Amino acid sequence: MAEAEGTHRPSADEDAITLDAGAANSAVRRLNETNTKFVALSGEAKLATDEEHAMTIREALRRYPKAVAWSVLFSTAIAMEGFDLVLISAFFAYPSFTKKYGVPSHSKKGGYQIPAPWQAGLSNGARVGEILGLLLNGYLAERFGMKRTMIGTLILLSGLLFIPFFAPNIETLQVAEILLGFPWGVFQTLTTAYASEVCPVVLRGYLTTYVNMMWGVGQIICTGVLRSLLARTDQWSYRIPFALQWMWIPGLLIGLALAPESPWWLVRRGRYADARKALTSLTSSRSADELDQTVSMMRHTDEVEKEISSGTSYINCFQGVNLRRTEITCIAWVIQASCGASLIGYSAYFFEQAGLPTTVSFDFSIGNYGIAIVGVFISWFAMTYLGRRTIYVGGLALCCTIMFTVGFVSLAHTTAASYATGTLLLCFTLTYDVTIGTLAYSLVTEIPSSRLRTKTIVLARALYNCQGIINGVITPYMLNPDFWNWKGKAGFFWGGLGLVYLVWAFFRLPEPKGCTYEEIDILFEQGISARKFKSTKVDLFQMEPRTELQTVMAKEE
């Protein structure tokens, strides 16, 4: 059949050499040949994609100030989890708490200890509840949307907080921690997913990693509160911190009631007009045509993902190309909990067991969590110039080195060695929060496909919490003087485990910086090596759009 006028035929050079004109466009080519609706979207989607790539940070902040504000609001909920998880572990070094819920210590005359089994139980109770909350969130968020799921979860949390506040014994505290874990599990995934779906590419890394800063904010507020109440010996020294968790909820509920829904979720539900309205609530200084182009880009990405891998269930996360994406997302987050970071959560108790006075231990902990917040700011600066992979792999190597150093220093049983251990842990915290602790939040939102993002993040965080449960069992035994009594020698264990993950990260962790979600889809669909992600160029729209008549004629040929 004669070639139709205007039909574009790529040259041999275009077709054979570059990824963007060849194999990487296979999914796009199939859709261009069979789906006229997709073709209609391509033109506007290309304009929006080009705009995303050209947008600077300053321009993005000018155009998306409301998106930044709403993302920050959602992420603030994570501070509640950071507050409580540090609260429980810090109470293990809190005299009034250990006297109320603990038993006389065998190694500390006149003192009290929470037995290691109960330390493990209280630490892990929240994580067990979080796993259940995470798995249910995968369905709730996809069914009801991120906004309504967050509001319902906050209301549930406000009622559950009465249990630890009035807990008469340690068994009741255990039940409270399990139940409280459910809403925290929801917060862990919804906050990062929402941040990744309301902002442009250039802001994606900053807003998703802001979640880690909120962890630090919750932790430092908690430690500061405990330090200020340390002189009290009555029940209010530990009840007041429990009660302060209510302070977050009213403001969050009011703000969330006014927040827009994720436009990506609305597009996945086929509610394109609502997605456009949500974008209007997230942006400023954007014309009607620009909003239409952004919605078209979202629809275009959704159609490509449907072609590559249909389905949005948990089982789809382990099928085809999504298996690799799930592996990377899960392990990138598990590494956070497997490189020695559990010592940060137990920092007050760790410092006390390392030989520092209780007041000095809490002072060190406040500095520790303050450094964590500073680390996020440094990480934002580093992300501007370096890729996610470079920062993550290099940071993991430094964390391993510091952990081994902690282990060797602890071999000297002196006061100077105790202060040196505390200083090294501060260095570890800074390194961790500049690199692994912050970057993981960005990676776990960028690697999954848009249609499976929430469920993939849920699986990753659930696996992270499983590692957290393991940490919650072994860390108290490592530090408790009545059990293993490893103290700083725990650094040898975490340093060795970190080396194993360092090898994995070098060969398996890709570089998603600067790529739109659709470009990441194509790179994974074509099986590009993790070390070649950065150098591989993808042009999703090189082919000229075909008319419906041209598509039919091409089929006949």
User: CATH number of the domain that 235 lies in?
Assistant: 1.20.1250.20
Q: Is the model more confident about 479 or about 375?
A: 375
Domain annotation covers residue 230: yes
223: nearest Cα among 24, 416, 429: 429
Domain annotation covers residue 527: no
Domain that holds residue 445: 52-519
What is the structure's pLDDT at 400?
92
Minimum mean pLDDT range among 33-42, 59-68, 86-95, 358-367:
33-42
Domain annotation covers residue 455: yes
What is the structure's pLDDT at 109?
64
Three-state secondary-structure class, residue 440: helix
Mean pLDDT of 229-239: 80
Mean pLDDT of 292-296: 77
Structure tokens at 385: 């110039």
Residues 75, 193 contacting (CB under 8 angstroms)? no
Query: What percent of the chain clears pLDDT 70, i.e. is strictly above it?
Result: 78
CA angle 347, 351, 354 (to 5 degrees): 135
Q: Is the model more confident about 40 or about 282?
A: 282
Domain annotation covers residue 271: yes
Alpha helices for 283-357 (secondary structure H)? 288-308, 322-337, 342-345, 347-353
pLDDT at residue 553 is higher than 50:
no
Q: Phi then psi for 113, rounded to 5 degrees? A: -135, 140
The enclosing H or E element of 442 equals helix 436-446
What is the structure's pLDDT at 391?
92
pLDDT at residue 481 is higher than 90:
no
Query: What percent of the chain clears pLDDT 90, i.e. is strictly above it?
Result: 9
What is the pLDDT confidence band of residue 241, given thresholds at 50, 70 and 90?
confident
What is the pLDDT confidence band of residue 397, given thresholds at 50, 70 and 90?
very high
Residues 149, 157 contacting (CB under 8 angstroms)? no
pLDDT at residue 499 is higher than 90:
yes
Greatest mean pLDDT range, 221-230, 453-462, 469-478 = 453-462
Q: Determine the distance from the C-alpha atom of residue 234 to the mean position of all C-alpha atoms in its chain, rounded to a whole number.
A: 38
What is the structure's pLDDT at 555?
38
What is the structure's pLDDT at 547?
36
Three-state secondary-structure class, residue 489: helix
Q: Is the model more confident about 55 or about 69?
A: 69
What is the structure's pLDDT at 278?
85
CA angle 385, 68, 322 (to 5 degrees): 70
pLDDT at residue 309 is higher than 70:
no
Domain annotation covers residue 422: yes
Mean pLDDT of 193-212: 80
What is the pLDDT confidence band of residue 428, given thresholds at 50, 70 and 90?
confident
What is the pLDDT confidence band of residue 138, given thresholds at 50, 70 and 90?
confident
Three-state secondary-structure class, residue 104: strand
What is the pLDDT confidence band of residue 11, given thresholds at 50, 70 and 90?
very low
Alpha helices for 199-233 (secondary structure H)? 201-228
Greatest mean pLDDT range, 13-17, 160-164, 267-271 = 160-164
pLDDT at residue 14 is higher than 80:
no
What is the structure's pLDDT at 414?
72
Domain annotation covers residue 299: yes
Q: Is the model more confident about 4 or about 158?
A: 158
Q: What is the DSSP letter of 103?
A: E
Q: How far apart are CA 193 and CA 201, in angstroms?
A: 14
Q: Is the model more confident about 394 or about 520?
A: 394
User: How many domains does the structure of the chain reveal?
Assistant: 1
Mean pLDDT of 517-544: 74
Mean pLDDT of 390-394: 92
Domain annotation covers residue 386: yes
What is the structure's pLDDT at 546?
38
Domain annotation covers residue 434: yes
What is the structure's pLDDT at 356?
66
pLDDT at residue 410 is higher than 50:
yes
pLDDT at residue 554 is higher than 50:
no
pTM recorded for the entire structure? 0.70
Q: Is the model more confident about 132 or about 2?
A: 132
